[in-house]
Structure 1
Amino acid sequence: MSKVLKQGQTFTGSARVRVYQPEPGMPGQAGTGESTDGTENQEADSAGAGGQDTAGKRYALISEEKRKILEHARKQAEQSAARILEEAYAQRDNIVNTARGEAGRIHDQAKTEGYNQGLNQALEDISQDMAGIQAAVDRLGQGLEEFKRQMNERVAGLAFMMAEKILRKKVEYDEAELADMVAGAVLSERDKENITVHIPEDAVGLVEALEKRLEPLRDKMGGVLRIKTESRPPGFVQVETEEGIVDASLDVQLDNLKKQLMALNSRE
């Protein structure tokens, strides 16, 4: 005996399995109150109850699917937001670290440049100080040279003054000194034939002393040797020959001595 299967049901052995149930209200489907051939469904009440139960479960399945989709979308959105936020934080940290590194580099560069600038300024200041010290040393050296020159002049002047006083006293009070001076002048002209010696007239004892000193020279000369007194100051001595006059006076000799001292001083 065969069984007639109702729409929406199937049997396999004794187990009932629910099959796909179309949504209510669709043409030619159960739940509309009509069969596919246009006749009324004799079991409308029972089929309607079964359709409502299936629709409720189907709605529940759709709602669960939507919830899962929404949950998945929410998780993806949260993951995307977290990833974007993480990338933003990473970029922020990178920018901050880069800015810090650049600031440190600029600071170190400024510090180095400032150190170099300070060092260069210090070297420039030291160079200027050295130049100032060198200029001061040069001025001091010039001052020392000038002081040395003045001292040499003073020493030479003092030596000349002392020599002048000593010689004048000897000539004035010691006729032997004057005789030696005259004899030296005559000997410098001994190769001449005619020699005339001019001396002060106040040196009376000098004439006799010269006569004795010059007597040996007369014998060797073979010429004329005369002594002539004149009104002259003490220390006056001139030797006249056929070639001219040699002034051997004390003043002339002192003047020559002064010139020699000045020349010696200038060489120093």
Structure 2
Amino acid sequence: EQVYLFNLRLEKPGLENVREGIELSLEEYIPITAQDAIFDYELLSEDEQSLKLQVAAIPKNVIEEYLSVFKNSMISARSFELEAQAIVRCVIEKGDLETYMVVDFGKKRTGIFIISRGIVIFTSTLDIGGAMLSSMIQKDLKISFEEAEKKKKEYGLKRNAVNTEVFSVLLNGVSVLRDEIEKHFIYWHTHKDEEGKDRPPIKKVILCGGDSNLIGLSEYFSVSMKINVEIANVWVNMVETEKNIPEINFNQSLAFATTLGLALRDFEHD
């Protein structure tokens, strides 16, 4: 939520240094000065007249805080990366250039990312997570948080006589998340890109994160949003699960999308 991501087109005539060109344009796109920002870029496309870049910028003081933590821990930091980029590297099959929405539903927050042609185009963070759902059950049923967590995992969005109370509470919570996801989904399809062109349609929504395995969640999103929604396969770029079954079970693996994506970056750069 502290990183700014945007596309920028730089004209080649008069351009001597790409980084200097970005620095001069930075304040048109983000609410911090170039002096107070650290940025990096990726070349998206190029023609005779211009360069199309994706720029990621972050306040310098945020990076300094992270660096101080590593320094005090006697760890040397080699690089930093957007969480969205790591997750997408993990859950989208390498070479797949379709457009997807990835929803990382974690314990305390949810990340929403849109990827197209292998590039993260949009990111957003919501203060909605699995712990919020458990707290809602705890309050409504007047039970401990641990009991609420257990009921959430056991029943989820299964609608039956045993689960009536939990279903009702969870439905209220996940409908808030659904509304936020749908808002971004609609915005993407109703607004043109920076060059005034129509955006490619989102092919499907992919769920990952430690709480994305909530029973019935993907089905609820799929039916209510009328789009294909599926649970991520975090091993898609690492192992052939038909031949080798990872020791960690599928549901647990969903919480490690960021970690696995960061590990895959080393393989890409080696």
TM-score, with structure 2 as normaliser: 0.16
> Rg bigger for which structure?
1
Q: Which has the higher helix share?
A: 1
Larger RCO: 1 or 2 (CA < 8 Å, sep 6+)? 2
Higher strand fraction (1 or 2): 2
